[in-house]
Amino acid sequence: MISKSCKYAIRAALYIASKIDEKVKLSVKEIAFEIDAPEAFTAKILQNLTRHKIIFSTKGPYGGFYVEQSNLKIPLINIVNAIDGLSIFEDCGIGLQECSDIHPCPFHNDYKVIRNGILSIYTNNTIGKFSKELMSGETFLKSI
């Protein structure tokens, strides 16, 4: 469904948000390490998130990536939109050019339910909600 890049993006944004209280800017190097992603590629993704104002950045010494309180209200669907776009939520489950109620594929009814379920996960959860779970140690961003 969502691309590998988008998964990195979500992990990165959540990691940065989970450090909001430390009031320190994070380097690409640290972020990439903490989310278990390649460094140079993570850099590209962070640039993208910055352009979309999902996170902030400053250059130079003591610079890096960070979020403000306002960013915590952003739903995760905004990240998906920034990286993959939203058309994935309109695609047919077995690749017909158009997903349509009046010209449906055999999966259509079942698939629509699932697809909307996925959309809901991204829409109903914010960066703040998930980053809070990370802070408390309930959830994690990389495997052991």
Positions touching DNA (CB under 7 A) are 3-5, 8, 25-29, 37-41, 43-44, 46-47, 50-51, 57-65
Q: What values do phi and psi take at 27, rounded to 5?
A: -85, 155
The reply to whether 36 sits near its own copies by the rule CB under 8 A is: yes
Block residue for tokens 């079942």: 110
The reply to whether 98 sits near its own copies by the rule CB under 8 A is: yes
The reply to whether 67 sits near ligand FES by the rule CB under 6 A is: no
- Burial class (CB within 10 angstroms; exposed 0-12, middle 13-18, buried 19+) of 69: exposed
Query: Which residues make Cβ contacts (< 8 Å) with residue 66, sequence separation at least 6?
Result: 16, 19, 20, 24, 25, 26, 55, 56, 57
| CA separation for the pair 10, 16 (Å, rounded) | 10
Residue 73, binding choice from DNA, ligand FES, its own copies, none, Cβ under 5 to 8 Å by partner class: none
- List residues near ligand FES by CB under 6 A: 92-94, 96, 99-100, 104-105, 107-108, 111
- List residues near its own copies by CB under 8 A: 1, 4, 7-8, 10-11, 14, 36, 93-98, 100, 103-108, 110-111, 113-114, 117-118, 121, 125, 130, 133-134, 138-144
